[in-house]
C-alpha cells in the first residue's frame, strides 16, 4: 500500500466485505513477522477501544506471561451507541482484522483467537462467519463468539468473564496491570480497529505506519461522526487532522454549539475549543481524548443539558448495577439533570447536588463506567454554562423549548445506514 495515503483500513468497497482473494490482491499475503512486538512499539500504535494504551507494550506483557496456552480476544462489541467504526471495518475488510489477530497470536504465543461481536449485530456476525469459513487454515484457531449486546459487555473483564462461561459483568481489579484469564490461561484483548492496524503494520512496518499522522501520534484512526450533521459518517482520518475538517466531511452544522468527543463517557468541547487537531496530544491540551473515535455534534437547536440527561439516563440503564455508583449514583444524576433541564424551582438545588454526586461517585466503581459518566457530566456543566444559567433562573433555554434531540440513544441500526467517505 502506498505510503502517505488514505484510506488504509477502509480500502475497498464499503459495506461489501472483501473476499479472501480480493483481500490478498489489495494488501498482499501476510508473511510471518518475528519482530512484530518491537515493530508495534516502534510504530507507537495505541488502542482504539477507548483508553489509548500502547498496543505493543500490552502484547509484550502477555508474551512474557508463563503458560502453555494463551488466547487473543478481538473486542468488536462496539457498545457505544454513537460508534459504528468496528461494524464498518468488518463490513469492508474482515480479513484484515483476522490477519492482525493471527499475527498477534503468533507474537504472544497463543494458538486461539476469539472474535467477539454483540449478539444483536446480525450483519456483522454474517460478515465474520463468512470470512472465517473462506479463510485458509494457518495453524491458529479462529472462533466467533456473540455475547449479549449491553454497553458494559464490551468492558474487557466483563467480556472475558462471559467468554469464560460466567455473567457479562465487569470484575473488580484493584491492582494493575491485570492479566485477564480465560479458562485460567492469559488473554491478550484488543479492540477490533487496533487489531486491523496490527494487520497493516505486520505487512508494511512502523516507518510506513508513520507516513500519515503526527510525530507524537502516527497513523490513522476511524471516527464515527453523528448528531447535528447532514451525513452521519465513519471516516478514516490521519491523526493530527483538524477537527473542523472531520466535522466538514460529515456536513456538520457549520456553527455547532459543542461536540461530544470520545463517546458517552467522553468529554464535551465547546465551540471555542473546536479549532483543535484530532490526536491524543492536541485533544489532551483541551482536556479531551479521541476515546473510541466518536464525535457527536450539537447545534443551536438543541439543549446541551437535555442531551446530557438523555445520555446519562441511558448509561444508568445500561450499567451492570452491581456497584453503588451505578445502582444509585447514575440514576440520581439522571434525575437531577432532568430537574435542571425542566428549569423549575428545583433547578438550582439540582445543580448543586450534581457537583456533589459527581465527587462521591468518582473512582468507586468496579469498572470505569461511572467515571466516564462523571467526566461527561462535569464537562457538560462547563460547556453548557449558559444553558445551565437559563435553566436555573427558571427559563429553559431555546433548545430545550424546541425539544430537538440529536445524540443517538438508542443506537442506529447496523452499518447500512452509514455514509462512507
Ligand atoms: C464500560 C466500558 C465499556 C467498554 N466497551 C468497549 C467496547 O464495546 N469495545 C471495545 O473495544 N472496548 C470497550 N471498552 C474498553 C475495553 O475495556 C478495553 O480497554 C479495550 O477493548 C482494549 O482494547 P485497545 O487496547 O485496543 O483499546 C469498554 C470499557 C468500559 C469501561
Ligand atoms: S461500576 Fe457500574 S458498570 Fe462497572 S461493574 Fe460496577 S455496576 Fe457494573
Specify the pLDDT at position 272: 93
Distance CA 60, CA 227 (A): 39
Whether 418 has a pLDDT exceeding 50, the answer reads no
Q: What is the mean pLDDT of residues 140-163?
A: 95
Query: Average per-residue pLDDT in the chain?
Result: 91
Looking at the fold, whether 46 and 165 belong to one and the same domain comes out as: yes
The verdict on residue 270 lying in a domain is: no
Count, residues in the chain: 421
Whether 420 has a pLDDT exceeding 80, the answer reads no
43: cell is 510504530
Handedness of CA 284, 289, 295, 300 (dihedral sign): negative
Specify the pLDDT at position 413: 35
Residue ending a domain, among 213, 244, 264, is 213
Distance CA 146, CA 114 (A): 10
Looking at the fold, whether 208 and 346 belong to one and the same domain comes out as: no
Among the bound ligands, name the one nearest to the CA of residue 81: 1
The verdict on residue 203 lying in a domain is: yes
Whether 334 has a pLDDT exceeding 80, the answer reads yes
| Cis preceding linkage at 125, omega within 30 | no
Whether 416 has a pLDDT exceeding 70, the answer reads no
The verdict on residue 240 lying in a domain is: no
Cα–Cα distances (Å) from 142 to 79, 114, 135, 342, 392, in that order, read 22, 6, 10, 52, 56
Residue 175 — pLDDT band, cuts 50, 70, 90?
low
Q: What is the mean pLDDT of residues 114-140?
A: 97
Domain that holds residue 394: 304-405
Q: What is the mean pLDDT of residues 11-16?
A: 84
Residue 139 — pLDDT band, cuts 50, 70, 90?
very high
Distance CA 188, CA 166 (A): 19
Distance 78 CA to ligand 1 centre (A): 8
Decide which of 202 and 324 is more confident.
Answer: 202
Among the bound ligands, name the one nearest to the CA of residue 59: 1
Instruction: Check if the beta carbon of residue 346 is closer than 8 Å to that of residue 389.
Output: no
Instruction: Check if the beta carbon of residue 49 is closer than 8 Å to that of residue 55.
Output: no
Residue ending a domain, among 213, 241, 262, is 213
CATH number of the domain residue 320 falls in = 1.20.1440.230
Q: What is the mean pLDDT of residues 5-34?
A: 93
Structural domain tally of the chain?
2
Specify the pLDDT at position 414: 32
Specify the pLDDT at position 374: 96
Query: What confidence tens digit (pLDDT) does each residue in 38-62 have?
Result: 999 999 999 999 999 999 999 999 9
Decide which of 108 and 415 is more confident.
Answer: 108
Look at the block and give the residue holding cell 446480525. Answer: 122
CATH number of the domain residue 88 falls in = 3.40.50.11540
Distance 150 CA to ligand 1 centre (A): 12
Q: Which residues line ligand 2 (CB under 6 A)?
A: 152, 170, 319-323, 325-326, 365-367, 369-370
Specify the pLDDT at position 387: 87
Whether 412 has a pLDDT exceeding 70, the answer reads no
Looking at the fold, whether 208 and 309 belong to one and the same domain comes out as: no
The total of other beta-carbon atoms located within 10 Å of residue 58's CB is 21
The pTM (predicted TM-score) of the whole model is 0.94
Q: What is the mean pLDDT of residues 337-355?
A: 90
50 SS3 class: coil
Query: What confidence tens digit (pLDDT) does each residue in 267-321 have?
Result: 999 999 999 999 999 999 999 999 999 999 998 888 999 999 999 999 998 887 8
Residue 398 — pLDDT band, cuts 50, 70, 90?
confident
Which among 161, 186, 181 has a CA at the least distance from the CA of 77? 161
Q: Which residues line ligand 1 (CB under 6 A)?
A: 47-51, 53, 75, 77-79, 151-152, 154-156, 189-191, 194, 367-369
Distance 117 CA to ligand 1 centre (A): 13
Distance CA 96, CA 110 (A): 18
279: Cβ–Cβ under 8 A, 6 or more apart, which residues? 213, 214, 216, 217, 239, 240, 290
The verdict on residue 366 lying in a domain is: yes
Residue ending a domain, among 178, 213, 248, is 213
Looking at the fold, whether 81 and 189 belong to one and the same domain comes out as: yes
Among the bound ligands, name the one nearest to the CA of residue 79: 1
Whether 217 has a pLDDT exceeding 70, the answer reads yes
Alpha helices in 109-145 (DSSP H): 122-134
Looking at the fold, whether 309 and 208 belong to one and the same domain comes out as: no
Count helices and strands in the chain by DSSP H and E runs:
17, 15
Q: How many alpha carbons fall within 13 Å on the CB side of residue 288?
A: 31
HEC assignment per residue over 218-272: ECEEEEEEEECECCCEEEEEECCEEHHHHHHHCCECCCCCEEEECCCCCEEEEHH
Specify the pLDDT at position 343: 86
Give the percent of the chain with pLDDT over 70: 96
The verdict on residue 250 lying in a domain is: no
Which among 188, 197, 204 has a CA at the least distance from the CA of 31? 204
Looking at the fold, whether 208 and 308 belong to one and the same domain comes out as: no
Residue 100 — pLDDT band, cuts 50, 70, 90?
very high
In this structure, which residue's CA is closest to atom 12 in ligand 1? 49
Name the pairing type of β-strands 180-182 and 141-145: unpaired
Amino acid at each position: 500500500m502506498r505510503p502517505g495515503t488514505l484510506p488504509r483500513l477502509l480500502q475497498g468497497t464499503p459495506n461489501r466485505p472483501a473476499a479472501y482473494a480480493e483481500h490478498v490482491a489489495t494488501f498482499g499475503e501476510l508473511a510471518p513477522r518475528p519482530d512484530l512486538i518491537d515493530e508495534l512499539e516502534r510504530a507507537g500504535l495505541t488502542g482504539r477501544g477507548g483508553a489509548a494504551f500502547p498496543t505493543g507494550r500490552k502484547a509484550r506483557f502477555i508474551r512474557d506471561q508463563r503458560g502453555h496456552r494463551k488466547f487473543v480476544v478481538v473486542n468488536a462489541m462496539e457498545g457505544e451507541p454513537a460508534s459504528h467504526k468496528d461494524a464498518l471495518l468488518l463490513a469492508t475488510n474482515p480479513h484484515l482484522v483476522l490477519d492482525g489477530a493471527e499475527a498477534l497470536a503468533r507474537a504472544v504465543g497463543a494458538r486461539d483467537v476469539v472474535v467477539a461481536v454483540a449478539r444483536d449485530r446480525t450483519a456483522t456476525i454474517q460478515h465474520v462467519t463468512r470470512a472465517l469459513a473462506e479463510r485458509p487454515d494457518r495453524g491458529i484457531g479462529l472462533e466467533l463468539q456473540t455475547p449479549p449486546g449491553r454497553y458494559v459487555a464490551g468492558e474487557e473483564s466483563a467480556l472475558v468473564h462471559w467468554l469464560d462461561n460466567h455473567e457479562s459483568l465487569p470484575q473488580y481489579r484493584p491492582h494493575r496491570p491485570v492479566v485477564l484469564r480465560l479458562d485460567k490461561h492469559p488473554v491478550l484483548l484488543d479492540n477490533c480497529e487496533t487489531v486491523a492496524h496490527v494487520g497493516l503494520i505486520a505487512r508494511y512496518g512502523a516507518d510506513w505506519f508513520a507516513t500519515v499522522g503526527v510525530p507524537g501520534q502516527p497513523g490513522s484512526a476511524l471516527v464515527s461522526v453523528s448528531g447535528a450533521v447532514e451525513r452521519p459518517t465513519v471516516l478514516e482520518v490521519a491523526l493530527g487532522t483538524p477537527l473542523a475538517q472531520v466535522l466538514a466531511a460529515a456536513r456538520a452544522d457549520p456553527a455547532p454549539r459543542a461536540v461530544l468527543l470520545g463517546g458517552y463517557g467522553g468529554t464535551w468541547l465547546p465551540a471555542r475549543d473546536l479549532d483543535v487537531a484530532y490526536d491524543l496530544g492536541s485533544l489532551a491540551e483541551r482536556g479531551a481524548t479521541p476515546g473510541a473515535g466518536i464525535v457527536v455534534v450539537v447545534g443551536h437547536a438543541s439543549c446541551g443539558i437535555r442531551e446530557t440527561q438523555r445520555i446519562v439516563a441511558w448509561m444508568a440503564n445500561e450499567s451492570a448495577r452491581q456497584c453503588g455508583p451505578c445502582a444509585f449514583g447514575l440514576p440520581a444524576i439522571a434525575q437531577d439533570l432532568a430537574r435542571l433541564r425542566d428549569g423549575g424551582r428545583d433547578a438550582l438545588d439540582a445543580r448543586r447536588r450534581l457537583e456533589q454526586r459527581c465527587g462521591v461517585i468518582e473512582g468507586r466503581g468496579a469498572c470505569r463506567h461511572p467515571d466516564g459518566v462523571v467526566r461527561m457530566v462535569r464537562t457538560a456543566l462547563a460547556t453548557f454554562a449558559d444553558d445551565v444559567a437559563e435553566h436555573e433562573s427558571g427559563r429553559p433555554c431555546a433548545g430545550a423549548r424546541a425539544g430537538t434531540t440529536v445524540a443517538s440513544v438508542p443506537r442506529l441500526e447496523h452499518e447500512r445506514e452509514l455514509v462512507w467517505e
